[in-house]
Chains A and B, each alone.
Chain A
């Protein structure tokens, strides 16, 4: 047992830290601090800097631009990004569809999509979920009928994250309605500018426009945009979901979240007028959270060691998803609790500047409630935590 990083890993960590310090755009940091909504260009700015450096897709094979890092280096990199509060690289292109393309795609598909995705020239969205399907993904009903060299696609997708900006989407569609649910599904890449596609915003609890409904009305998709054989899309879907789940624990981000809560709680006063962080009740909750997070961190490190030794991420990754999201939610709860009265004001869409003489509470409180509300999604999406428990029960415990 040796949990220390090697000297090479430590050197890599220093390099990563330095690179972020020197290259992360200051205007992005300002925007994050003032909680302005991020534009498409904002999302892509850091992506493009990393693409230029060759670091945007740590998981990719070297052949397509991956840096060839070890699992430990990838872990360090994600830690360092979280530590610096950088905008996360959106997973849809880099972590989700690209592995499907370089693993299952034709040579033509690889050449057409991988490089532009790497460079941030194609923004991808995911067309998996449907109204009424939820965690029962295989019940999807969007229909694709083959007509010559095209599929004609009709149906509705939902929870399409940041689909309002997307150039392309990867869609699961039903190509054989008579087969068993998992067997008649195909995986299509669809140009979002194709006639017949309508994207409609869904406003969520926190007041954000982050997700969308996508309506497909007689959308013509060339057969050459299908990945894998017809009706074999489920294989790609499962493969992609396994990739979606890795990294979902969010340990480094939760660590940063706890740091922020600690900082808030040194300013906020407790009932006895001491700092809130010295309050035995609050302190206990932070301590318990930190211990839970440490357990999760070491579980993730063990999984990582397993991966480094060549074992793929198995159904154990469900554990990381369950605990990771629960911990993220508890961090958000504590932040809202620490904010006290100033958790209540709602800032989205009304000016926070221009009246410096009459400020509304401390800045650290502004986002606590929307973040808490929006954070409830993490135990629902990517296969709800109930479903993850089913997976562990079946696949790990053999129940």
Chain B
């Protein structure tokens, strides 16, 4: 058994960590989140050019570092520690994932754009009525000559205000929730008829409601097979879920470490509050939750290449563990910080907010428990 990283992976981790240490301390992050743009395009450029991390999971022929899911995991964990808002998940993991797995003709060009820091992606998959059922789509794509016309409304598209491209799921056939009839498109965000309403999110990112109003796209906008896109969507969402688990691991580690530090220096009744056994046991339970989440994230990342069912089961198991850890570790970090944990001034609350959003991202604990049960016990469950 070997859970250690290759030399390249360790280097990648060190490179990202040292950049973030220098340039993404909490006060800088606060300024980024509050700025009008809400992100740092110059940092994005640096990710591409100085660090080369936007090519981490892509093959060398495509200009990447020749890595895969493990590289995404390494980057995302570091991003989780610094609460990075820049759209690695949407662009590299999700946008890149769709392009890599779909056999899309224009993939090489677009991946080249991602690696160079020129193309940024947001994933328009959720709809107001759909919750965590990715096939529940009212958005339609209708054939129009050789191209398509898109109509619909996508909910809470994270990173859309910064995106040059949108990956859009739309129905090209079948009923609203059918598994068949789902297709995936790549759409230029500046295309005529793409209307966005932008807003901040509670965890410091930016998102949009995206409305497609008679948006005409060419035949080359279709990614993957017409009407058979759902397995591809599920695969990429599973990869994104693994990446988000890794981000959570970084965030959880900071929540735990921050709490240990705080309780050691915070005195009450004449002694550091870390001396109280009830708090010690709580911090031990937090520690256990963090470690279990690390293990599950490794497990899920390793199993991304397995069969669809194996992969799905591993991902859902990991997300259940991580989702629960986000709640337990996050809530207790605030509780053990006392009133200070309630202030916007301290970083700890911002880690808690991100952890809270991750808890529900790509499916709640209930959603993944149900998916796991279905795979583990069959239809009888």
Contacts and interface: CB of A to CB of B under 8 A. Distances in A.
A346 B201 contact: yes
Interface stretch (A66-74, A253-261, A267-275): A267-275
A373 B349 CA distance: 9
Which residue, A139, A341, A372, A377, has most C-beta atoms of chain B within 10 A? A341
Interface residues on B, range: 35 or more
Given A135-B268, A341-B156, A358-B197, A271 B131 contact: yes
B151 interface: no
Contacts of B128: 341-342, 361-362
A203 B130 CA distance: 34
Contact of A346 (B200, B276, B331): B200
Interface string A167-207: 00000000000000000000000000000000000111101
A203 B16 CA distance: 32
B28 interface: no
Contact of A380 (B335, B352, B366): B335
Interface in B290-327: 327
B376 interface: no
A133 B369 CA distance: 43
Interface in B145-164: 155-156, 158
B199 A381 contact: no
Given A273-B136, A389-B278, A205 B199 contact: no
A271 B132 CA distance: 7
B131 A386 contact: no
Given A270-B131, A271-B367, A273-B177, A342 B155 contact: yes
B123 to A, nearest CB: 12
Contact of B366 (A133, A279, A347): A279
A361 B155 contact: yes
Contacts of A372: 356
B343 A202 contact: yes
A369 B202 contact: yes
B181 to A, nearest CB: 16
A397 B298 CA distance: 46
Binding site of B, secondary structure by majority: helix, strand, loop or mixed? Answer: mixed
Contacts of B357: 343-344
A379 B334 CA distance: 10
Contacts, number: 141
Which residue, A203, A333, A360, A362, has most C-beta atoms of chain B within 10 A? A360
A181 B134 CA distance: 61
Contacts of B266: 132
Contacts of A126: none
A355 B209 CA distance: 12
Contacts of A345: 156, 199-202, 207
Interface in B199-230: 199-203, 207, 209, 211
B197 A344 contact: no
A203 B339 contact: no
B364 interface: yes
A224 interface: no
Interface in B232-275: 266-269
B360 interface: yes
Which residue, A136, A159, A358, A379, has most C-beta atoms of chain B within 10 A? A358
B283 interface: no
A355 B195 CA distance: 12
Contacts of B356: 336, 369, 372-373
B177 A386 contact: no
Interface string B349-360: 100110011001
Q: Nearest 7 A-B pairs (CB), nearest first?
A: A281-B366, A203-B344, A136-B268, A341-B156, A369-B202, A358-B197, A344-B201
21 contacts: A134-B338, A158-B339, A202-B344, A203-B343, A203-B344, A204-B343, A204-B344, A205-B342, A205-B343, A269-B129, A269-B133, A281-B370, A342-B128, A343-B202, A343-B357, A345-B201, A373-B356, A380-B334, A380-B342, A385-B335, A386-B276
Given A279-B366, A345-B207, 13 more contacts: A129-B339, A205-B341, A337-B364, A341-B126, A342-B128, A350-B200, A359-B209, A361-B128, A370-B202, A372-B356, A374-B342, A376-B335, A389-B278
Interface of B: 126, 128-133, 136, 155-156, 158, 177, 195, 197, 199-203, 207, 209, 211, 266-269, 276, 278-279, 327, 331, 334-335, 338-339, 341-345, 349, 352-353, 356-357, 360, 364, 366-367, 369-370
